Amino acid sequence: MSVFGSLRAALARVTGLFTGRRADADLRAELEAHLEMQTAENIRRGMHPNEARRHAMLSAGGLTQAAESVRDRRGLPWVDGVAADLKYALRALRHSRAFTVIVVLTLALGIGANTAIFSVVRGVLLKPLPNRDGDRLVYLRQSADGPGQGDLDFSVPEVTDLRHGVPSLGGIAEYSPWSVVYQSDEGAVRISVGLITGNYFEIMGLSPVIGRLTRPSDDGPGVPGVAVLTHEYWMRRFHGDPSIVGKQLRFDNKLATVIGVLQPAPFYPRPIDALLNMVMSEHHLSAQMVQGRTHRMTAVVARLAPGATLQQARSEVASVYTRLQGEYKDAYDPASHYKVAVIPFHEVLGERARLTLWLLMGAAAFRGCAGCSSSRISCSPSSGRSSASASRSAASSSSCLWRRDTRHAPTRSVSTSSSSASCSRCRWPSRSCCRFSRHCRAKAPSRPGFSPAAIARAAV
């Protein structure tokens, strides 16, 4: 078929969606005209009118087949099927109000549960990080055998060794979860904060909403205290007031100047309200903290260097850590099997809830499928026409009724019967109209208003 022929056929199918009934009437009139012409020709040859019409129908090869062949080339069959399904479902639901309410509630619960669970899964597991080049962020996790040893912090000497011995990590930042008492005119309240090194935001790839973020110049024992508020805490506590930048807040009787507000971003291992530089904690500047290799209180985040791969970083970190275990045997008990893992940061954020969320997602999906399946089974045509099918089967045992393999029996007419259907008495093809044959004409019981001519007219 040429390109123009294909386009014309496609246009005819689309047009047939809107001109189906009028086209059916035209098609029926045209087929009837051909049938009448052939019948007249047979009568002219001396046949009885009924016999002449029967021969005309036989010579035509079946008008219903011809009509169905034309319909198959007009419109979109799957659209017609969907429309028929919808009409039947609406009819069935309208006739059973209580069942309709149950179906609607079942589907609503299934869809609502799926939507809610997927929203949580997307927000926790699938949503991209707001950090710049978030796929380059990694989290270093130290662990050992034993209860409560699955996620250990690092000591400052260990971080220093990793910072100088792993070139595949372009930068390493320290983060220490902490809690302080925020004191204001309205009273005192304990809040969660993070004590960070000045390069933390540069490594994390985060930006300020207003103001600025910490810099390496904010590190050291003699620098003033500074604070960066998280976006959520800024909105909740200060109602998004931009004038908060530059003001001093009191934390544990120490003043810190608010230098900026951070963009919305997730934190690990728990949400926090503000981020402070290390000078706000005397303990974090003490000799024990700075020099003690076993004094582990710092979490480590890093960014892969340009061109470096995750596997390369893991190899270099393992090499440095093996060397440290050999040099400082007192800090690493061999029986505890200390090790360090390099994990993409986005995997760390949702790892605690990952299994639970996926199980809930699977359960919600199963619940939705079960609800849809039960509703479809209850609304299926077969469930509503069992008694009608039984009546037709009983009638066909005493007369030559046609057996039909239909999709929606209550909505189809005799003219759309299947070409493979046959007479239940003589087994002749129904397209040939078995009532005209000698095999069953005498055996078929006579019924008022059910003459061979009527069947012929219905078949047209």
pLDDT at 357 over 80: no
pLDDT at 88 over 80: yes
CB atoms within 10 A of CB 137: 21
Task: Give pLDDT, residue 279.
Answer: 94
pLDDT at 10 over 50: yes
What contacts 134, CB < 8 A, 6 or more positions away?
128, 205, 345, 346
**Mean pLDDT score across all residues of the chain:** 78
**Stretch 3-15: mean pLDDT:** 70
CB atoms within 10 A of CB 107: 15
CB atoms within 10 A of CB 203: 23
381-386: which pairs have CB atoms within 8 A and are 24 or more residues apart? 381/88, 381/407, 381/408, 381/409, 381/410, 384/92, 384/410, 385/409, 385/410
Q: For residue 191, which phi and psi values (nearest 5 degrees)?
A: -130, 160
d(CA 391, CA 395): 6
More confident residue, 348 or 379: 348
- Judge whether 429 and 417 are in contact, CB under 8 Å: no
pLDDT at 448 over 50: no
- Judge whether 378 and 99 are in contact, CB under 8 Å: yes
pLDDT at 199 over 90: yes
More confident residue, 115 or 341: 341
Host H or E run for residue 292: none
- Judge whether 171 and 203 are in contact, CB under 8 Å: yes
pLDDT in tens, 92-122: 878 888 888 887 888 888 788 778 877 777 7
pLDDT at 224 over 60: yes
Q: How confident is the model at residue 164 (pLDDT cuts 50, 70, 90)?
A: very high
Q: How confident is the model at residue 425 (pLDDT cuts 50, 70, 90)?
A: very low
Query: What angle separates helix 63-72 from helix 20-44, to the nearest 10 degrees?
Result: 150
pLDDT at 167 over 90: yes
Q: What angle do CA 228, 138, 118 make, to 5 degrees?
A: 85
CB atoms within 10 A of CB 439: 14
List the domain boundaries for the chain: 134-349, 395-460
Task: Give pLDDT, residue 374.
Answer: 61
In this structure, what is the dihedral angle of CA atoms 345, 206, 124, 151, given to the nearest 10 degrees? 40
Residue carrying the six token digits 């990080």: 129
DSSP state of 124: I
